């Protein structure tokens, strides 16, 4: 549901409830005031006790930029056997999470609203997909509501969608009810109905919800058995972690062990008197950013401990780092885990001086079985370093960490820990920019520098590829107007024309770039952006882990990496029926997309993409997805700003592997933007969708398509034809160079309205349903930023397995229907086809600048 229903039910001049218009980039705050959403935040939940005509709890989860909402009459129960009815109600704006007080009697929901609980919620899966399927699995991290829960849609017919809310049988499960936790909830205010309803509640004083302890172990006794262990009190503060030096090859020998080098954020954690605190390697507290880690560490059931590890998403590979960043920023949901590799203190015993293998054995014992949020970083013996590195590289990890098995834990960098990286990426300080060329907004490239003992900082090269349009804008804002024309770092090469015109400044922030070797004087060869590392300070680069530079190492590693083939996409449930009316299986769908991939990729590659996924096949629940989700390894994303002002990660497919991964995820339809991901604010396609209303024969749709083509030709615009796989036809106008969306939408709207005005008995330029019979809706709304249109060679999630097919204009006269081509006819057409019906579409130069 959108916020339209929320607006319709309320008179904001009478109620204090927040209007959606005031909700741009806001979130909850305990003071009840609106606050700007920070760049990094997690999706929130809020539960409000509502004394309306019928007392109930309002249960709300942030999904995107709204609060999905359910009314739960009896409130959540911690008893897994109790399933509470939850009636789905209209979406609410995020600012509603701060609302408390009285809604006037006579207004919708009149009565008293009090906040019962609030916090962060997570799910390792796509929330929109789960809601569409009717089963949402999630975790809550509040003061009162904790642990794992389920929302399952009931199959019973009802005016409003009914769900069941119930607790997972986990460490928090018990006999506690929501009404047992009301001791600190604000009592009702002025309305009579609210006061009357409040008297029915007997308040109990259950103050906290704590996890049950399943293991009773004398951990202090176990810790005292370690070599060099001593009794000590642990301070409730961060500690400097042990760091590794970079090596060329993994060391060998029985004194070493080798672990995977996880690609995430280094975190250290302490437990003092049962209270968990978590810090970054630079002693910045992260406890509230990662509540799932805090809860998992609490469940260890120890009074004091100090541990060291890495925060990861997914498998913790290089490809998963973007998922980690987007999960922490709240742009998507994903499962986070804390991979622990060292233990320094346990229940009053300091074990830092014990050999590493003894510390790790005790840590593994402490952790027990792996949980979704805590795991143990295993290792292999020292004589298998080369094999460990090869396996880590093959599995797309960043490399390995080799550690002396017989040494104590030492703060700072030492030779006891060595890392061997797939040196296809490295980190540099940004020290300047060059100007953008052509239509590129913001800077052209970032100037990079590495720390140098002789000069302080030395120029390392420039990176100008790998940036999304959103990154170009955001980084340009971050840099601002600082700088001068004089280099601020030592430049070991002669300044070329571009560097002479560059803007230089002192080291400002850190980026990680993919590199393809080093040229003369150590200048990077063909670098491209991997990630912006705002989590690191430029000072971290001075604490060098590199040692003496060897110019050939990066090139050697890159070549080795190129020999590692990406694993093939595994198709699960290949015999599952996708099109039941024709008994077409998932394997047949996958084979179709493999066959048409070269043609389909011409339209979708490099563009923000929306898909329609049908996990249970056509005829069952399907859903529309545009955001990147956990588990997608071959599909990248681009961060784009949405209308509500928030950033979101949009799907982008670049190759066959990415396309087939989406097919594995049960994607049937592919709908690209009319713009590329690296230039999302400029359109290179105009699409007119000719959609016939009831009673319009297809011959009239064909005549309309030819009419639109002729009118466009009068404007010196060549167009192309597509059968949509549905009822209608698309007339597509390529733009080269691309035009601003504002101009494109204005042109499309004016064209459609002029067409409808010239022949109102045939055409319609509005989507009003009651006006549709007997007319053709000229849908121009697919020509706005964020709008999509189905791609040529995309299947449609409809009976018969129809396909959207590009046509040459002479083929129009013989076309019988908009869905004339199904999966079999499309493949047969491709086999006999000698020429692409849209040949030359990308080479055609035409735009709307003269029109605008």
How distant, in Å, are the alpha carbons of 51, 139, 163, 165, 176 from that of 77? 19, 14, 14, 8, 6
Q: Strands 242-246, 412-421: parallel, antiparallel or unpaired by DSSP?
A: parallel
What is residue 78's three-state secondary structure? coil
Question: Does the active-site annotation cover 261?
Answer: yes
58 DSSP β-pair partners? 48, 71
190 CB neighbour count, 10 Å cutoff: 11
Give residue for tokens 């601020």. Answer: 488
Cβ(709)–Cβ(731) under 8 Å?
yes
* Alpha-carbon span 38 to 32, nearest angstrom: 17
* Alpha-carbon span 759 to 352, nearest angstrom: 84
Cβ(838)–Cβ(792) under 8 Å?
yes
Backbone Cα Rg of the chain: 30
* Alpha-carbon span 79 to 75, nearest angstrom: 12
List, as one string, the DSSP characters of 302-314. Answer: -SEEEEEEEEEET
Catalytic-role residue among 261, 289, 360, 557: 261
Give residue for tokens 């107007």. Answer: 481
* Alpha-carbon span 191 to 106, nearest angstrom: 11
List, as one string, the DSSP characters of 29-46. Answer: -TTS--EEPPSS---EEE
Tokens of 314: 């997914």
For residue 393, what are the contacts with CB-CB under 8 A and spacing of at least 6?
A: 399, 422, 560, 561, 564
Q: Of how many residues is the chain composed?
A: 852
- The beta strands (E) that lie in 104-174 are given as 111-122, 135-142, 146-153, 162-167
For residue 358, what are the contacts with CB-CB under 8 A and spacing of at least 6?
A: 226, 227, 351
Tokens of 3: 């916020």
Q: What's the CA angle centered on 500, arms 498 and 504, to 5 degrees?
A: 100
Which ranges in 580-632 belong to alpha helices (H)? 586-604
* Alpha-carbon span 181 to 198, nearest angstrom: 14
* Alpha-carbon span 293 to 278, nearest angstrom: 9
Exposure string for 460-488, b = 16+ CB within 10 A, e = fewer: bbbbbeebbbbbbebbeeebeeebeeebb
What DSSP character marks residue 247?
-
The burial of 695, by beta-carbon neighbours within 10 Å (0-12 exposed, 13-18 middle, 19 or more buried), is given as exposed
User: 3-state DSSP helix/strand/coil percent for the chain, to nearest 5?
Assistant: 25, 30, 45
For residue 844, what are the contacts with CB-CB under 8 A and spacing of at least 6?
A: 718, 734, 736
* Alpha-carbon span 324 to 127, nearest angstrom: 17
Catalytic residues: 261
């Amino acid at each position: 549901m959108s916020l339209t229903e929320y607006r319709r039910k309320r008179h904001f001049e009478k109620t204090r409830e927040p209007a959606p218009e005031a909700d741009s980039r806001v979130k909850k705050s305990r003071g009840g005031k609106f606050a700007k959403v920070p760049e990094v935040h997690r999706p929130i939940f809020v539960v409000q006790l509502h004394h309306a005509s019928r007392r109930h709890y309002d249960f709300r989860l942030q999904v995107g930029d709204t609060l999905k909402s359910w009314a739960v009459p009896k409130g959540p129960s911690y008893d897994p056997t109790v399933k509470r009815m939850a009636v789905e109600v209209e979406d609410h704006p995020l600012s509603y999470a701060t609302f408390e007080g009285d809604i006037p009697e006579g207004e919708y929901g009149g009565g008293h609203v009090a906040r019962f609980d609030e916090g962060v919620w997570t799910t390792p899966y796509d929330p929109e997909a789960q809601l569409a399927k009717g089963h949402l699995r999630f975790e809550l991290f509040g003061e009162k509501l904790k642990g794992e829960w389920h929302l399952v849609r009931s199959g019973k017919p009802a005016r409003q969608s009914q769900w069941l809310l119930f607790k997972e049988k986990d460490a928090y499960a018990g006999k506690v009810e929501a009404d047992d936790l009301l001791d600190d909830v604000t009592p009702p205010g002025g309305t009579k109905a609210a006061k009357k309803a409040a008297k029915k509640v007997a308040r109990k004083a259950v103050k906290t919800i704590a996890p049950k302890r399943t293991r009773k172990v004398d951990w202090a006794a176990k810790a005292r058995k370690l070599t060099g262990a001593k009794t000590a009190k642990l301070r409730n503060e961060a500690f400097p972690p042990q760091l590794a030096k970079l090596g060329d090859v993994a060391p060998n020998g029985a004194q070493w062990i080798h672990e995977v080098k996880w690609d995430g954020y280094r975190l250290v954690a302490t437990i003092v008197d049962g209270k968990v605190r978590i810090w970054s390697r630079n002693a910045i507290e992260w406890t509230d950013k990662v509540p799932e880690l805090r809860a998992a560490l609490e469940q260890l059931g120890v009074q004091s401990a100090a541990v060291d590890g890495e925060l990861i998403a997914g498998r913790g590979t290089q490809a998963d780092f973007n998922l980690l960043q987007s999960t922490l920023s709240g742009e998507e949901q994903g499962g986070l885990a804390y991979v622990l590799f060292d233990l320094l203190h346990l229940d009053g015993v300091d074990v830092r001086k014990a050999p590493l293998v003894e510390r790790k054995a005790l840590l593994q014992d402490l952790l027990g079985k792996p949980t979704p949020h805590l795991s143990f970083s295993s290792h292999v013996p020292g004589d298998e370093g080369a094999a460990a590195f090869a396996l880590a590289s093959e599995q797309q990890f960043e490399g390995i960490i080799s550690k002396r098995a017989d040494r104590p834990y030492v703060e700072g960098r030492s030779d006891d820990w060595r890392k061997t990286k797939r040196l296809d990426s490295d980190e540099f300080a940004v020290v300047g920019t060059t100007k953008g060329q052509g239509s590129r907004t913001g800077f052209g490239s970032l100037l990079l520098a590495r720390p140098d003992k002789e000069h302080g900082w030395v120029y390392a090269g420039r990176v100008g590829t790998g940036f999304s349009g959103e990154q170009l804008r955001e980084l340009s804002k971050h840099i601002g107007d600082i700088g001068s024309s004089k280099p601020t770092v030592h430049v070991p090469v002669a300044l070329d024309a571009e560097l002479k015109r560059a803007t230089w400044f002192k080291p400002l922030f850190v980026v990680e770039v993919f590199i393809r070797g080093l040229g003369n004087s150590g200048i990077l060869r063909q670098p491209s952006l991997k990630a912006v590392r705002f989590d690191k300070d430029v000072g971290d680069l001075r604490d060098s882990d590199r040692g003496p530079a060897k110019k050939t190492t990066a090139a050697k590693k890159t070549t080795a990496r190129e020999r590692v083939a990406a694993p093939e996409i595994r198709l699960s449930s290949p015999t599952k029926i996708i099109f039941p009316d024709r008994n077409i299986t998932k394997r047949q769908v996958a084979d179709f997309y493999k066959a048409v991939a070269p043609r389909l990729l011409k339209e979708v590659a490099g563009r923000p993409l929306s898909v329609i996924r049908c996990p249970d096949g056509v005829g069952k629940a399907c859903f529309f997805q545009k955001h990147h989700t956990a588990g997608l390894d071959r599909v990248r994303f681009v961060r784009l700003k949405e209308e509500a002002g928030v950033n979101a990660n949009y799907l982008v497919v670049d190759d066959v592997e990415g396309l087939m991964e989406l097919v594995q995820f049960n994607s049937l339809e592919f709908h690209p933007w009319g713009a590329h991901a690296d230039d999302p604010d400029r359109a290179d396609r105009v699409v007119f969708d000719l959609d016939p209303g009831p009673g319009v024969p297809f011959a009239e749709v064909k005549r309309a398509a030819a009419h639109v083509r002729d009118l466009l030709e009068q404007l010196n615009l060549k167009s192309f034809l597509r059968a949509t796989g549905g009822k209608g036809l698309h007339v597509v106008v390529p733009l080269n160079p691309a035009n601003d969306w504002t101009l494109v939408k204005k042109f499309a709207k004016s064209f459609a309205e002029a067409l409808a005005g010239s022949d109102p008995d045939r055409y319609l330029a509005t989507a009003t349903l009651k006006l549709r019979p007997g007319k053709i809706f000229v849908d121009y709304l697919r020509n706005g930023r964020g709008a999509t249109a189905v791609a040529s060679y995309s299947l449609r999630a409809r009976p018969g397995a129809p396909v959207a097919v590009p046509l040459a204009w002479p083929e129009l006269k013989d076309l019988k229907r908009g869905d004339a081509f199904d999966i079999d006819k499309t493949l047969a057409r491709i086999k006999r086809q000698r020429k692409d019906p849209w040949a030359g579409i990308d080479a055609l130069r035409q735009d709307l600048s003269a029109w605008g």
